[in-house]
Structure 1
Amino acid sequence: LMVDLVLNHVSRQSEWFRDYVEGIAPARDYFITVDPQTDLSQVVRPRSTPLLTPVQTQEGSRYLWTTFSTDQIALNFANPDVLFEFLDILLLYISMGARIIRLDAIAYLWKKIGTPCIHLPETHEIVKLLRDFLTLVAPHVLLLTETNVPHAENISYFGNGDEAHLVYQFSLPPLLLHALQTGNSRYLTRWAASLPSLPTGCTVLNFTASHDGIGVRPLHGLIPEEEFSRLVEGIRQRGGYISMKRDTDGSESPYELNITYFDALSDPEDPDMDRQVARFLCSQAVMLALQGIPAIYFHSLTATPNDEAAVRRTGHARAINRKRWDAHSLEALLQDASTITARVFRSYLHLLRLRARHPAFHPEGVQRILDLGDSLFALERTAPDQSETIVALHNVTAHTVTVPIDRIPSLQKAGQGKELITGRTMKPVPRTLRLSPYATAWIRVSPPH
């Protein structure tokens, strides 16, 4: 059970905020009041909305810090009472069986005027404190940080193995999307090959979609600017939306692509649904094969299309990826094997069951990225106890690709292999292997007798 611990802010409808408005202790000191004439130009903004929101209180008008929106009022962690409130909340979650605590928007926790107010040393100290607290009272509980920022900043929340146990792999969703939209794995392979070794007891949470959009700040420095612009425009062509943030110079730039991952992998020039299904399943196979723990959004299991009606109804771009299924309608789709929903769901379950059976996919299993050219994304996973090796091959293109077996030593040396997804035994491993468009092969390698 994972529980979201939202430390940065509370709702404008909360009791704490109502008490603040009425001047009731202790909540009257839980928020951050700022003179609107203060120079806040250095503050890094994840949104384009105003940083300060006017609020009418018993003592008159006040301007409060609102990092994300006018209805999410930022908390003042410089007040120790706020920290102790959250330790109480954390204990409640643990008592209810929480196994993972997700620290929502943790990067923006500490505010200090005259600084960017992101990744401040005090924020990292709070994460360390929470880690120490869990080590004492609930060592079985894991901390997960949610920091939708460039990769180096993101993994800084591992600290020296003394902060988060888990960090979201935020660069993966947009990089993988780019690879499959362009049919070119170059930047995905380059990034994956550069990933550092993680502290003992730490790993990443791999994902492609979530209740939010696809964050693009983590793409910074990973693909050329012109490629990024094409990616953004491609989302618009596929019926998605682009959410913007305000930069320190006052301009705006994209921070999030609002679209379902399934429709993000459509092709406006070739609306072949079979091809879209294959492209989508390839994306999920890549995510499942990578070192770490997979996190799967419900709407990925069901290949949910864009919910444009929800966007019109709510006025919120994120609603496009938050469809509320009617249970009977969903069950009917799943029972009809010919529907896209059923096809993706059954194929996804097959991949998950395979992954669960093979220790090579353990989070601590060794990962080696194989550069086999721009048409393939390939990697090798080895079980922690060396009991098995799996070579994972993914064709990211719309054409059949011949895999260069001579560049994969483990396959060259193998006496035989087994392709896990189809169940086909390879005796011996062939000298050439052809992958159809967007196909995946997970080959378990057996040593020669």
Structure 2
Amino acid sequence: MKNIKERLAFIYEDQSIEEIEKSICKRISETKDKLLKPRKQSWDEKDLVLITYGDQFQENDRPTLETFKKMFDRYLADKFPIVHFLPFFPYTSDDGFSVVDYKKINPLLGDWEDVERLTNSARIMFDDVCNHISSKSEWFQEYLKGNLEYDNFFIEMNPAVDLSMVTRPRAHPLLTKFTLANGEEKHIWTTFSDDQIDLNFRNPQALLKMIDVLLFYLEQGAEYIRLDAIGFAWKEVGTTCIHHEKTHEIVKLFRDVVDEAAKGTVIITETNVPHKDNVAYFGNGHDEAHMVYQFPLPPLVLNAIHNGNGSALTNWASQLSPTGKDTTFFNFLASHDGIGLNPIRGIIPEEEILSMVEELKQEGALVNYKKNPDGSESPYEINVTFLDALNKQADTDEVRVKRFMAAHSILLTLPGVPAIYIQSMLGSRNDYEGVKKTGMNRSINRQKYTLLGIEQELANEESLRFKVFSGISKIISARKAQEAFHPNAAMEVLDFGKSIFAFKRISQNESLYVLHNLTNGQAGCELNGRFQDVLTGEVFNGEIELNPYQFLWLKPTN
């Protein structure tokens, strides 16, 4: 395992790495002996991901993972071969991202046997919350007690040190004061909140613990691993403490570990940052992340449909470099978080971003802010369901559905593996009661449902939920049948003016033209040849006229 040794030598430089290398290799061997189920070795056009919470659907006195499996098997299994479960571990805040114990399932959700049963219905994606841990975790509590096993597991920092260069994703202080059992006060690095304590990867034992967690997840059936907030892993005073070269080396080490233990496991980096920094996590195309989140996509699609102008979206897509066969994009429009704005800074003028934010606020969206180095604050995230983001409160459901389907056509046809958030699949509106209950803006897009209640709503063919669910289901089915939508198939972006977002997807055996009218009016273009829409069967020759928010997937015919 030469790569692992070289990675450790780079990360820890002058430190002795022999013992930690032995421990990692021994742990990999243990995992290999436990894994018997073969893993898919790549991805294709049939791969789609459902993003969900483990307690999304509920029944009285039943573990919610058991209830989720009922819902999934009845309504979703034929659409989504992969399910991304947001953290289902015991936690103290942030809806799961402040983990108390990495190796336990939240008792309200069930246990590891429930997870194993779910792996019979879908390939599962786990969250590895590897940057931070709950302040109530055993690790941090033992540190506070002075247990030497956890000495140097967390980052102590003198508050007088100049940390002004550090990239801040939140508006609260970077350091939090804690009192040790002996009465000594320490200021500890807390990037995201005072309940989320950053791990100190400068300590090889902390790294070893997290590799053990990573391999444990593979043993429990994880075939996809999302590295949450990984960009912040390595801290060095005097730098931005994001995307450090040793952070990249840690990701490469994780890749080597999973490749050695369970080839076919997919590593996905979650770095909500500008595109150039995001795609850097592909490494050389073979040695780092298999997938990166396509963070510019949600705000770009929102901006295009909001303004009826796809110029920025077209320009961005035309500059997307193709990935190699060993990497691809993880595409999404909505997630448990809000719609991030930082990834489009530099793509869309700041005044246009701020104008869009203000208009969305007028329509009921909420906004989270980040602190800038000069002390000012800027919006970094719009909190809203994607359905309500695209529409005004006064719009009819007919218009809502048209815009939403057009947005999801874009999602399902661009290069990459598409992921759909459960709230989008269910056609959810803003949940203000959830915000009131938790006090968190992000709760606006995290509504939970009784199984009986959601089944009744989906059975009502006049409901918005039914129309959205059936509409997305239809285009998912069509996507899976088109080789040209393989995640790595080539794309040629076409320029038909600001009203239409269009491109051609090209695989070895077929090609498809994909056209989207981004406006509430008619929009036309011209394609040479004869085409058939794979969604409706309709045939087109030459001049093509698109109705408001109409989209076409056109296959050339002889």
1:308-362: CA deviation from partner (whole Å, max 9, x where unpaired): 0111111100000100112211111110111000001001000000000111100
Aligned counterparts, 1:23-172, within 5 A: 23-59=146-182, 60-161=184-285, 162-172=287-297
Give how far 1:82 is off: 0.7
1:189 aligns with 314
Unaligned runs of 5+ in 1: 406-411
SS of the aligned residue for 1:296 comes to strand
Q: 2:456 aligns with which of 287, 312, 332?
A: 332
What residue in structure 2 maps to residue 206 of structure 1?
331
2:435 aligned with 1:435, yes or no? no
Match of 1:246 in 2: 371
- More deviation in 296-305 or 135-144? 135-144
- TM-score, length basis structure 1: 0.95
2:347 maps to 1:222:
yes
The match for 2:358 among 227, 230, 233 is: 233
Counterpart Cα distance in 1 of 2:409 and 2:460: 23
User: What is the identity, as a one-letter code, of the residue corresponding to 1:443?
Assistant: L
- Please give the alpha-carbon distance, in whole angstroms, between the structure 1 residues aligned to 2:324 and 2:252: 15
Q: Give the fraction of aligned pairs with identical amino acids, expressed as a percent.
A: 43
| Aligned: 1:389 with 2:511 | yes
What is residue 7 of structure 1 aligned with on the other side?
Answer: 130
C-alpha displacement at 1:404, in angstroms? 2.4
Which residue is 1:174 aligned to? 299
The answer to which of 169-178 and 8-17 deviates more is: 8-17
Q: Is the 8 A contact 1:158 1:199 kept in 2?
A: no
Q: What are the residue-to-residue correspondences of 1:243-282 with 2, within 5 Å?
A: 243-268=368-393, 270-282=394-406
Residue in 1 that maps onto 2:536: 422
Is the partner of 1:99 in helix, strand or coil? strand
Q: Distance in 2 between matches of 1:372 and 1:236?
A: 31
Distance 1:369 1:149 in 2: 24
Which of the residues 104, 123, 142 maps onto 1:19? Answer: 142
In the TM superposition, residue 256 of structure 1 has moved relative to its aligned partner by 0.7
Shift, 1:249, TM fit? 1.3
Q: CA deviation at 1:23?
A: 1.1
Bigger relative contact order (CA 8 A; separation at least 6):
2
1:423 Cα offset (Å): 2.3
- Residues 145 and 164 of structure 1 are in contact (CA less than 8 Å); yes or no, is this contact kept in structure 2? yes
CA offsets 1:156-196 (integer angstroms, 9 cap, x no match): 10011111000000000001000000000000000000001
Asked if the contact 1:160–1:199 (Cα under 8 Å) also holds between the matched residues in 2, the reply is no
Which secondary structure state, in structure 1, belongs to the residue aligned with residue 368 of structure 2? strand
Amino acid at match of 2:195: D
Shift of 1:25: 2.8
- For residues 203-227 of structure 1, give each alpha carbon's deviation from its aligned partner in whole angstroms, at most 9, with x where no partner exists: 0011000001111100111111221
Q: Post-superposition shift, 1:431?
A: 2.3
Residue 512 of structure 2: SS of its match in structure 1? strand
1:290-312 residue CA offsets vs partner (Å, 9 max, x unmatched)? 01100110011011000001111
1:17-71 Cα offsets, whole Å, 9 max, x none, are 1111111131232100111111111101000011000111113111100000111
- Is 1:355 the counterpart of 2:466? The answer is no
TM-score with structure 2 setting the length: 0.76
Aligned to 2:151, the other structure's residue is in SS state: helix
Q: Which amino acid aligns with 1:143?
A: I
Query: Equivalents in 2 of 1:443, 1:200: separation in Å?
Result: 25
Q: Aligned partners of 2:325, 2:534: CA distance in 1, in Å?
A: 30
Secondary structure (helix, strand or coil) at the match of 1:295 reads strand
Moved beyond 4 Å, runs of 4+ = none
Distance 1:423 1:191 in 2: 31
Q: Which runs of 5+ in 2 are unaligned?
A: 1-123
Maintained 8 Å contact 1:187/1:222: yes
8 Å Cα contact 2:215-2:258 kept in structure 1? no
Distance in 2 (CA, whole Å) between partners of 1:382 and 1:420 is: 15
CA distance in 2, matches of 1:423, 1:431: 16
Contact 1:30 1:82 survives alignment (8 Å): yes
Cα pair 1:145 1:168 within 8 Å, conserved:
yes
1:312: which partner in 2?
Answer: 436
Q: Counterpart amino acid of 1:321?
A: N
SS of residue matched to 1:26: helix
Cα RMSD (Å): 1.1
